[in-house]
Homo-oligomer: A and B are copies of this chain.
Amino acid sequence: MTVADIYSLAEEGLKEIEEEIACSSCSGLSYINNIADSIFKSGGKRIRSLLLLLAAGLSGYTGRRTKALGAIIEQVHTASLMHDDVVDNAATRRGVPSSNTLYGNRVSVLTGDCLYTSAFLKLLKKYPTPIVSLIVTTVNQMSEAEVLQLQKTSDLNITGQEYMQIVFGKTAALFSATCASGSLLANPADMRRKNLLYSFGTNVGCAFQLQDDLMDYLGNAKVLGKQPGTDMTEKKVTLPLILLLENSLKYPKDYNAIKKLFLSGGDKSEKLGRLLLWLEKYGIRPKAEAIVNSYIKKAQKILLRFESSAYRDALTYLTGSLKQSQTVGRELSEIVKNQLIKQSL
């Protein structure tokens, strides 16, 4: 199994989705379409499109109804990024200025609303209610998780359960809905397969977000495409810090020093450097990687309940690739994206 194999499996579908994104308009206002286009075109990994196509294929569906649905899911994802940019006051996104830097918070909020509602309207027009409900439920979960994350900012007593609730809502919920939608396209009545694929998406999404949170400490700026230490700066308490606090609990001096350091202001790179030393001292990297791996394994185990196929192999490989790369899925998604752009231009 190579990236080229995955690409050839999903090639047609990805091109169709890209075509749909390019052609379908989100609004009657060209101003909104231009903003949406600039974000769509700035890239993104299209990992959700790929998951949709492979999950549909795994369920025996290779028809054209993935085309609009893939574009709609990417549109929902883009809307969530616009609202996230407001939320985090992010200055860049994917290495380029974020929408709120370019257009202001006001336009980002409302353009995000337009993208969400236009996506819902396309769903209502073209897809059965179970798929509509699944996607709208997901956006609800995504928003709730972001609120919970805000509420838990600087909260060093966040529980593992609360953290995983955030991880699920932020990333895994849309992965789950995407994979389950692929199954619903094949057969809306097959609840067993739908639930299996939903659960597969949850595990892949959690692995993806946990790896992302880990790399926000351990990755380097060039490969990440963004400065590491963002979560630390925004005082989001994520996997590495949670593990660090858990493991240092028996050593009050260290424990308190870590807490104090995390909550302190001061120079970012110096602070990150000092936290990395603590992570090293308590062996957090392998511990975190083991957790990411456990989600990957659960996801791959679910795939074994489907009959053998090229789609199953592709999803197994894709899932496994999450742990190898510094930025999650980069190896695969970059190549897919480049090939896609090359061929569609």
Residues of A within 8 A of B (CB): 27-29, 31-32, 83, 86-88, 104-107, 109-111, 113-114, 116-118, 120-121, 124-125, 129, 132-133, 136-137, 139-140, 142-144, 146-148, 150-151
Indicate if the CB atoms of A136 and B150 lie closer than 8 Å: no
A111→B149 CA distance, assembly (Å):
12
- Majority SS of interface residues in chain A? helix
Whether A113 contacts B139 in the complex (CB less than 8 A), given A29-B148, A86-B106, A129-B124, comes out as yes
A109→B142 CA distance, assembly (Å):
12
State which of B110, B146, B151 has its C-beta within 8 Å of the C-beta of A147: B110
| Chain B residues, Cβ within 8 Å of A142 | 113
- Which 3 pairs of residues, A with B, have the shortest CB-CB distance? A113-B143, A117-B140, A87-B106
Whether A143 contacts B114 in the complex (CB less than 8 A), given A29-B148, A109-B86, A120-B120, comes out as yes
| Chain B residues, Cβ within 8 Å of A109 | 83, 86-87, 109
State the Cβ distance, A305 to closest chain B Cβ, in Å: 29
Indicate if the CB atoms of A147 and B29 lie closer than 8 Å: yes
| Chain B residues, Cβ within 8 Å of A87 | 105-106, 109-110
A121→B104 CA distance, assembly (Å):
30
A113→B114 CA distance, assembly (Å):
12
Indicate if the CB atoms of B144 and A27 lie closer than 8 Å: yes
A31→B165 CA distance, assembly (Å):
15
State the Cβ distance, A228 to closest chain B Cβ, in Å: 22
Further contacts, 15 of them, CB under 8 A, given A113-B142, A114-B144, A118-B140: A29-B147, A86-B106, A86-B109, A87-B105, A109-B109, A110-B150, A113-B116, A113-B140, A114-B147, A117-B136, A120-B120, A121-B136, A121-B140, A125-B133, A129-B129
| Chain B residues, Cβ within 8 Å of A146 | 110, 113
Could you say how many copies of this chain the assembly holds?
2
A140→B116 CA distance, assembly (Å):
8
State the Cβ distance, A184 to closest chain B Cβ, in Å: 15
| Chain B residues, Cβ within 8 Å of A121 | 133, 136-137, 140
Offer 28 A-B interface pairs, CB within 8 angstroms, sorted by A. A27-B144, A28-B144, A31-B147, A31-B148, A32-B144, A32-B147, A86-B86, A86-B105, A86-B109, A104-B150, A105-B105, A106-B150, A107-B147, A107-B150, A109-B109, A111-B143, A113-B142, A113-B143, A117-B136, A117-B139, A117-B143, A120-B136, A121-B133, A121-B136, A121-B137, A121-B140, A124-B129, A124-B132
A110→B143 CA distance, assembly (Å):
5
Indicate if the CB atoms of B124 and A140 lie closer than 8 Å: no
State the Cβ distance, A250 to closest chain B Cβ, in Å: 32
A137→B110 CA distance, assembly (Å):
14
| Chain B residues, Cβ within 8 Å of A136 | 117, 120-121, 124
State the Cβ distance, A83 to closest chain B Cβ, in Å: 5
State the Cβ distance, A286 to closest chain B Cβ, in Å: 34
Indicate if the CB atoms of A111 and B147 lie closer than 8 Å: yes
| Chain B residues, Cβ within 8 Å of A151 | 29, 31
State the Cβ distance, A122 to closest chain B Cβ, in Å: 10
